[in-house]
Structure 1
Amino acid sequence: MVGQQQTTLHLLAEQVFSLTGYSYVFAYVAGVLSDRHGRKPVLLTGWILGLPVPLLIMRAPSWEWIIVANVLLGINQGLAWSTTVTMKIDLVGPRQRGLAMGLNEAAGYLAVSLTSLAAGMLAAQYGLRPAPFLLGVAYAVLALVIVALLVHETRGHVALEAPSGRANLSNTAIIADVTWRHPALSSASVVGMASNLNFGLSWGVFPLLFAGAGLSLGQIGLLVALYPLVWGLGQLATGWISDHIGRKPLVVGGMALQAGAPAVIAWSEGMGGWVAGTILLGLGSAMVYPALLAVIGDVADPAWRGRAVGVYRVWRDLGYTAGALLGGLTADALGLHSAVWAAAVLSGLVTALVAYRLTESHPGLP
């Protein structure tokens, strides 16, 4: 659902709606509802709300329709993706938590990559609408059928886990821990937000930067797809690695790569440098993503795990908005290359912060 828009939406804004300026809490709601009422109903609701998204974009007579579609997409992501993460943590123990998170995130971001590539190819062959968004219709219908018929409730597995001794935290205390108070949980939120800031920037600025250099729709689709492709494939290994060497080395090293990758992209002037930069950015994201979710699973008590994942995802997914705002405002004021340099500097500062503050959370490691 995200991938269908990644290649085409900003070009649609320019070419169809003549928008030339460069210039969300449902993840937490999902956590509260899944802790209270079960995981499956929340997952099903998320996909019901996701079904209209591609239909609205296909038929949109004005940009306001696109905004409404993306509000629904945000709700869909907040409810559905947060719940799948919580369900997988329910189903596996701490020894294989990183592997499970890596498999979950790999499935998602490989789908983003492949759909970005497919949407670019369809747009080049058949135009920006409606062909690329027929993919989203098929995905939403398929997801609804799978959730309704095949997915089982996982909340009962929580009872099999030993409590952490912090089972009675209030909602306020959980928010405080994940936002600033607990070193591991709050560090995960900061890194997640910074990582998605880079993703938001890649979604909003990179296609315009590449188009301004004269690349074709097919070449832009390839570059935009390469980032989540490396991200998705890499997570097949990085989650498992975090189960063996710990979460912190993956988080700090991955954030350092994400600081260097935008600098490579901003410095480069051709396809070779942009390919290298997007590969580095994808590898850095692959290192941090499953490790961060494993940190939440390591620390959060089973009784409030869904809410912890929800708060983390609120901060993490605010990175999309922050990346769009940072990229848009900086690009309007100083140019597209300056927006990419700004992301590199900010990612470097976050790397230094978490290297100092993040504590190792793996229960089997010091």
Structure 2
Amino acid sequence: MSGPPPIPPSVRRNTLLLAMVQAINGAGIQLVPTFGAIQVVTLLGSAVFAGLATSLMGLSRALTAYSIGQFSDLWGRKPTLYLGLWLTLMGALLIGGATLAGSLALFALGILVFGTGVGAVQQMRVAAADMYPPSRRGEGLSLVAMGSLLGAGLSPMLVTLAEWLGRRLGFSEIALAWLLVPLLVLPGFLMVRGIRPDPKRIAQHLEAYYRPEDLQTGPDPTPRGERQVQPRIAALSSAVAAQGQMVMMMAMTALALKALECSLAQISLSVALHVMGMFAFSWPIGRLADRIGRKPVMGGGLAVAALGALLVGLGQGYGAITAGTFLVGLGWSGAFLAANTALADVTPPAERGRATGVLEAWANLSGMILPILGGLVVETLGLPTLGYFGALLALLPLPLVYRLREVAPGVFQP
């Protein structure tokens, strides 16, 4: 072929709608790190369990990810997205109500429900992979991921509106922010309704959307049996390592900058650049994975994340540490996107929901445990040791990635 196959209009429309749902999801997720610790301290009167909200959200996603994947494989991607949006909406209302009532138990329940909903909406990655042939699958996943950039802008707007209303109504601004989340979520139901047909159905009939030559990327384009095992293990290991390392380094970056007596504005800018690294380059990274293969992008992403960790831990000055946190985000983007793409390549459509559920479960567990370990490392051995630890975590899956035999993008052999 002279170039990548054209994207059918229905797939293009569905991809845009999925990206918009991703933006909504991302805006809601940001309220947890923004307000979660403040709310727990207010409800308990102590900072001992300040990380409770983040931990509960990660726990709920880890515990329910596989079941959600089963639901997605059985009933389709659209019903799963509807379920996720509904749980997200209900969870936000529970959290807002708990804040007004001063109830820790209701707050914890709300976080668990909200986290489960957020995890269910992440099945949009499966939906994106369903609609594209291997030669454009990385790009399809990346286009949906780009919606997170819009979500990063929606969240501050929501918080600003809540502050404005709170001052005029005499209500808790934090509670109002959560109670306003349905204003974002409700249009999401219409967006999901506009996705036609269900992406799972497209995956089962790709030949109706693409030319036969568009579906062929090389010898044996649909590997089965034993030859699936090694790519799955490499993809899972890379995604788990990238997710856990990214969350750990992001949590510790504020400490590194605080030690340099940086202002809150400087720390906020560093976090914003980290988010830019995570999502701003998703599209070119996805195109690269389709052009040169999942293996080099996965391995390159892990290496970049390792370099970023070293800069955060060993960097001298604001510029070096901020560059490090940007590289951690950029490395995560490459490794996580390529890992999800490779997993979709070697998993039949009827099993992709569960496969992604397994990845989500382990990635969220990693994101819960490693920040705690990172804190212990900083407390006992210092920030430079954290840099080495973060680099080691990112490099651990590289031998598995190196041993992959990718004869063409998305085509693996034993």
TM-score by length of 1: 0.81
- Distance in 1 (CA, whole Å) between partners of 2:243 and 2:265 is 24
- Distance in 2 (CA, whole Å) between partners of 1:139 and 1:330 is 39
Query: Cα offset for 1:198?
Result: 2.3
The equivalent position to 2:109 in structure 1, one of 49, 63, 68, is 68
Query: Residues 263 and 316 from structure 1, CA distance in 2 versus in 1: closer, same or farther, beyond 3 angstroms?
Result: same
Query: Cα offset for 1:140?
Result: 2.5
CA contact (8 A) 1:255 1:347 kept: yes
CA displacement 1:231-251 (0-9 Å, x = unmatched): 211111100111110111111
Query: Residue 78 of structure 2 aligns to which amino acid in structure 1?
Result: K
Query: Residues 285 and 53 from structure 1, CA distance in 2 versus in 1: closer, same or farther, beyond 3 angstroms?
Result: same
Query: Residue 150 of structure 1 aligns to which amino acid in structure 2?
Result: G
- Distance in 2 (CA, whole Å) between partners of 1:362 and 1:261 is 27
- Distance in 2 (CA, whole Å) between partners of 1:13 and 1:236 is 37
Equivalent position of 1:357 in the other structure: 403
- Distance in 1 (CA, whole Å) between partners of 2:29 and 2:254 is 15
Equivalent position of 2:333 in the other structure: 286
Matched, 1:262 2:301: no
Identity %: 26
Query: Residue 199 of structure 1 aligns to which amino acid in structure 2?
Result: M
Query: Residues 97 and 155 from structure 1, CA distance in 2 versus in 1: closer, same or farther, beyond 3 angstroms?
Result: same
1:96-135 mapped onto 2 (5 Å cutoff): 96-108=136-148, 110-111=149-150, 113-114=152-153, 129-130=174-175, 133=178
Query: Cα offset for 1:268?
Result: 2.9
Unaligned stretches of 5+ in structure 2? 1-27, 52-61, 208-220
Query: Residue 94 of structure 1 aligns to which amino acid in structure 2?
Result: P
Equivalent position of 1:250 in the other structure: 297
Q: Alignment partner of 2:174: what SS? A: coil
Query: Residues 136 and 344 from structure 1, CA distance in 2 versus in 1: closer, same or farther, beyond 3 angstroms?
Result: farther
Query: Residue 258 of structure 1 aligns to which amino acid in structure 2?
Result: A
Query: Residues 365 and 187 from structure 1, CA distance in 2 versus in 1: closer, same or farther, beyond 3 angstroms?
Result: closer
Equivalent position of 1:9 in the other structure: 36
Query: Cα offset for 1:338?
Result: 4.5
Q: Alignment partner of 1:196: what SS? A: helix
Query: Cα offset for 1:113?
Result: 3.9
Query: Residues 137 and 26 from structure 1, CA distance in 2 versus in 1: closer, same or farther, beyond 3 angstroms?
Result: same
CA contact (8 A) 1:266 1:337 kept: yes
Query: Cα offset for 1:283?
Result: 1.5
Query: Residue 19 of structure 1 aligns to which amino acid in structure 2?
Result: A
Matched, 1:160 2:205: yes
Query: Cα offset for 1:76?
Result: 1.5
Query: Cα offset for 1:330?
Result: 3.3
Across the aligned residues of Structure 1 and Structure 2, the Cα RMSD in angstroms comes to: 3.5
CA contact (8 A) 2:278 2:330 kept: yes
Equivalent position of 2:246 in the other structure: 199
Query: Cα offset for 1:275?
Result: 1.8
The equivalent position to 1:80 in structure 2, one of 118, 121, 141, is 121
CA contact (8 A) 1:185 1:296 kept: yes
Query: Cα offset for 1:137?
Result: 4.1
The equivalent position to 1:150 in structure 2, one of 178, 188, 194, is 194
Query: Residues 204 and 138 from structure 1, CA distance in 2 versus in 1: closer, same or farther, beyond 3 angstroms?
Result: farther
Query: Cα offset for 1:18?
Result: 2.6
Q: Alignment partner of 1:182: what SS? A: helix
CA displacement 1:244-290 (0-9 Å, x = unmatched): 10111111111011111122112235321222112211221221222
- Distance in 2 (CA, whole Å) between partners of 1:122 and 1:222 is 22
TM-score by length of 2: 0.73
Query: Cα offset for 1:151?
Result: 2.9
- Distance in 1 (CA, whole Å) between partners of 2:72 and 2:264 is 41
Query: Cα offset for 1:355?
Result: 4.0
CA contact (8 A) 1:7 1:119 kept: no
Query: Cα offset for 1:7?
Result: 4.1
Query: Residues 270 and 137 from structure 1, CA distance in 2 versus in 1: closer, same or farther, beyond 3 angstroms?
Result: farther
Query: Residue 354 of structure 1 aligns to which amino acid in structure 2?
Result: L
Query: Residues 266 and 70 from structure 1, CA distance in 2 versus in 1: closer, same or farther, beyond 3 angstroms?
Result: farther
CA contact (8 A) 1:38 1:155 kept: yes
Equivalent position of 1:172 in the other structure: none
CA contact (8 A) 1:202 1:224 kept: no
Query: Cα offset for 1:191?
Result: 0.8
CA contact (8 A) 2:223 2:346 kept: no
- Distance in 2 (CA, whole Å) between partners of 1:67 and 1:50 is 14
Equivalent position of 2:71 in the other structure: 33
Query: Residue 288 of structure 1 aligns to which amino acid in structure 2?
Result: A
Query: Residues 15 and 64 from structure 1, CA distance in 2 versus in 1: closer, same or farther, beyond 3 angstroms?
Result: same
Query: Cα offset for 1:203?
Result: 4.9
1:45-56 mapped onto 2 (5 Å cutoff): 45-56=83-94
Query: Cα offset for 1:219?
Result: 3.1
- Distance in 2 (CA, whole Å) between partners of 1:124 and 1:202 is 30
The equivalent position to 2:130 in structure 1, one of 83, 90, 97, is 90
Larger Rg computed on CA atoms:
2
- Distance in 1 (CA, whole Å) between partners of 2:279 and 2:112 is 25
Q: Alignment partner of 2:46: what SS? A: coil
- Distance in 2 (CA, whole Å) between partners of 1:277 and 1:65 is 38
Aligned residues: 351
Query: Residue 114 of structure 1 aligns to which amino acid in structure 2?
Result: G
Unaligned stretches of 5+ in structure 1? 170-176
Query: Cα offset for 1:184?
Result: 0.8
Equivalent position of 2:349 in the other structure: 302
